[in-house]
Amino acid sequence: MSKNYDRKDFLKLAVLANAALYTQPLQAALKVFTLPPVSSSNVTYYKNGDIQYDQIRQGFNKRISKFPKIIALCENAAGVSEAIKYAIDNKLPVAIKSGGHCMEGFSCNDGGLVINLSVLNKVTWLSNDTIEVGPGCTVSQLYDIILPKGRIIPAGSCASVGIGGLVLGGGYGIISRQFGLACDSLIEVTMVDGKGNIRSSADDKELLWACKGGGNGNFGVITSMKFKTHQAPATLQCFRFKTHNVDTAKAKAILQNWFETTAALPPSCFSAYVLNGKTAYILLTTTEKITTPIQTAITKLSTLADKITKTQPEALQPALKTFYGIQHPVYFKNSSAGLYKKFSDIEPFINKVLDIVVAGHGMIYQVNTLGGNIQNASFEAGAMFPYRSYGYFSELQTYWETENQATPLLKRFQSVQEIFAANNIIPQYRNYPDINFANWEDRYYSKNYAKLQQIKNKYDPNNVIHHPQSVKNA
């Protein structure tokens, strides 16, 4: 590769972000509609060749490029309804784009209609602790509005991610152990269903349940979301522990010690283990003062590192900005690599994974802490998200600069995924999809898939809204 991304950029890009577009053969040309749609005050339609078409078509992942016949830039729910009805009349499959960060490109399609929600990005205060948010609002836009008022929802930290896609798949970040997943703060949605009808979850508790972890492009287009906000922590402090030139044995020893240490962290803390080639990196954050359990963790992690750095406690808004990451499209593949309860889940085979990661540049294996208030029983009862009992979420990442560099990196990536699959690592996080997952229905949704199918039948019986891994009609 002509240059290597800085490891900090890798971490910023992947830690807590919740992502762009699914790889398929690219259409070289598109047929022009003989009867193009008529724009209105509610929605503007674009086709290939129009000004802004490419700008609003492109997602965050340059690896994936799709060409819908029509992009509907919607101003409101009425515009989404018009676009859905147009798609039905013209037999066009519908994909939904809020921020364009879906890692496999499910927010776009080839030859169909894409509903672009980027204009629906307003944040409205409904009370001192309740907000209404458009799905196209990004994480950085949201934080710029609510953090100065001392309020927060646990919405991750990748600046350009759209709130719609993030929340509908669950949504986690460095303060999720303290406040739960992003979807756990969701209290109501407005949705346009697969027939173009405008619906409210105030009339259907099961719709709200489904949108808390199971709503990504499945049975409707979410046009607004209401959240309960939380009192924001005053500060965030970060500790970073690095070890250079690790081999497989060293990387495994650090990982095992990290699992044991983080099992005792209080909910105010988040941690991530990141293996980037031959460099092992541990991040630890806290929103409270250094208590005895936190100091114990710092002391244990320090024994594993060649270099230790820390920040002073900093106001939350500027502290979070250090994790905002790259905000322009890049070439990459990133996906879930399993949810774990403890190190023993992966111990029998993890050497095979680490061998591949340390053997060359361009691949990262990362494990992040879950647990804390993500495991709150009341949150579990009200949300589709099926994996509360798992304390750790892992992911794979690989990055490159030009198209011709992709093949060997993607081959290595797939070889690691095959190791996890062969060793029965089934649970996967829906917001970090992989197009190659077999039995993805069970991997993403577990026991809740059949209920999601019922909701799909109710709101989108003709499967108007779909993508390669969307919930299927029963």
Q: Where in the chain is the domain with CATH 3.40.462.20?
A: 235-441
Q: Give the pLDDT confidence of 140-196 residue by residue, as tens digits.
A: 999 999 999 999 999 988 999 999 999 999 999 999 999 999 999 999 999 999 999
Q: What pLDDT is recorded for position 111?
A: 97
- The CATH number of 16-116 is which of 2.30.30.100, 3.30.43.10, 3.40.50.1100, 3.30.200.20? 3.30.43.10
Class of the domain covering 123-232+449-459: alpha beta
Among 422, 396, 391, CA closest to 410: 396
Q: Which segments in the chain show pLDDT lower than 50? A: 1-34
CATH 3.30.465.10-classified regions of the chain: 123-232+449-459
CA-to-CA distance for 167 and 213, rounded, in angstroms? 7
d(CA 314, CA 88): 51
**Measured distance CA(216)–CA(48) in Å, rounded:** 26
Strands (DSSP E) contained in 331-382 are: 331-340, 363-369
pLDDT of residue 37: 81
Closest CA to 404 of 20, 62, 13: 62
**CA–CA distance, 437 with 443 (Å, rounded to integer):** 8
Choices 3.40.50.880, 1.20.1250.20, 3.10.110.10, 3.40.462.20: CATH for 235-441: 3.40.462.20
Distances (CA, A) of 372 to 205, 266, 267, 376, 379: 25, 7, 5, 8, 12
Helix extents (H) in 51-204: 53-57, 77-89, 139-146, 163-168, 176-179
Q: What is the pTM of this model?
A: 0.91
